[in-house]
Structures are given as C-alpha cells and as structure tokens.
Amino acid sequence: MAAEIGVGVGLVAIGAALALGLSAIATAMAEKAIGTAAVGAMAEKEELFGKGLILTVIPESIVIFGLVVAILILGLAA
C-alpha cells in the first residue's frame, strides 16, 4: 500500500526546486555577460585568456550555493 504524501512535503520539494532552478538561471545570465566581455577582450589582447577564463568560471559558485540551500530545504521534508 502506498503511503500518502502531505501537501507540506510537496511544498518543500517545490521550494528546493526553485532554489536550485533560479540560481542556475542567474548563473547563466552572469556567465553570458562575462563570457561576452571576455571574448571581446581576448579579440584585442590574447594574453587576457587566463583572466577571462577565471572570471567566466566564478559565477558557478552561485549554483553551488543554490544546491546547498536545496539540500538543506529537502532536509526539512524528512
């Protein structure tokens, strides 16, 4: 027999999905702007490749924070 899942568990799951999904969207927007500027800078000075690569990767921490928050939220459902 299947156990019933309450509305609270569903709301917790939606909250976790929003935490991760919105942080991923924000990261994509930040990486788009930084990547565009980095490619433009590298077109003029090739030695800026390393700095452009590092600056493009930095926004990934936003997704990691979103994942940590989602895991913490999912801990409330247990």
Does this model's pTM top 0.85?
Answer: no
Q: How far apart are CA 23 and CA 26, in angstroms?
A: 5
Q: Domain count of the chain? A: 1
Q: Within a domain: residue 61?
A: yes
4 lies in some domain: no
pLDDT beyond 90 at 67:
yes
- pLDDT for position 1: 55
Residue 2 lies in a domain: no
**25 found inside a domain:** yes
Please report whether residue 9 resides in a domain.
Answer: no
Q: Note whether 26 and 62 are within 8 A (CB).
A: yes
For 1-46, write each residue's pLDDT tens digit: 567 878 888 899 999 999 999 999 999 999 999 999 999 999 999 9
